[in-house]
Amino acid sequence: MTSPGRPSGTAKILLVTAAAVVSVEALTFGVLAVLELLAVSSDRVGLGVGATIFLLVVAAGLAWAASRVAVGESWARSPLVLAQLVQLGLAWNFRGDPAWLTPAIALPAVAVLGCLLAPPVTRALADHHGA
């Protein structure tokens, strides 16, 4: 039996799926942060460190929101939806250069949005919020 207010069934599957994809996105941002830090040159230390900190903050925020949405906390859906919309904008910006980059950015965002905005999830999170 599930706890009162916790999503179950299809909603739970969709939330956990979205959280898993977002966790991979967060891990990707973490890897990009490390790569950025390793690529810092003496003439751009400030930029490199700033970009690294930004990427780490994004990674941490995504990971935290993903962990909270996986257990049905309704507030966590909003920042994740916003992050996926930003990601779709980035995919549009990178379209065609190289050809694999746009789908690699856009497809996970579309999948997460599909999961987070699905009617069972919306109902479950609305029920949880009203409880």
In tens, the pLDDT along 41-85 reads: 888 899 889 999 999 999 999 999 999 999 999 999 999 999 999
pTM over 0.85: yes
Can you tell me the mean pLDDT for 102-130? 91
Specify the pLDDT at position 43: 87
What was the pLDDT predicted at 1?
40
Predicted local confidence at residue 5, as pLDDT: 67
Backbone phi, psi, residue 78, to 5°: -60, -50
Is the residue at 109 inside a domain? yes
Cα 20 to the center of its chain, rounded Å: 9
pLDDT computed for residue 117 by the predictor: 97
Quick one: pLDDT at residue 42? 84
Residue 13 has pLDDT above 60, yes or no: yes
Assess if residue 1 is contained within a domain.
Answer: no
- Domain contains 90: yes
The answer to the question of residue 117 being in a domain is: yes
Contacts of range 58-61, beta carbons closer than 8 Å, 24 or more positions apart: 58/26, 58/29, 58/83, 59/26, 59/27, 59/29, 59/30, 59/33, 60/26
Report yes or no on 4 lying in a domain.
no
Question: Would 106 be classed as within a structural domain?
Answer: yes
Total domain count for the chain? 1
Tell me the pLDDT of the chain averaged across its residues.
91
The values of phi and psi at residue 54, to 5°, are -60, -50
* Position 37 in a domain: yes
Residue 99 DSSP code: T
Q: What is the pLDDT of residue 94?
A: 86
Is 97 part of any domain?
Answer: yes
Write out the residue range of the structural domain in which residue 122 sits.
Answer: 9-130
* Structural contact between residues 65 and 5, judged by C-beta atoms closer than 8 angstroms: no
In this predicted model, which residue has the larger pLDDT, 66 or 91?
66
119 — pLDDT class (breaks 50, 70, 90): very high
For a pLDDT cut of 90, what percent of the chain falls above it?
A: 74
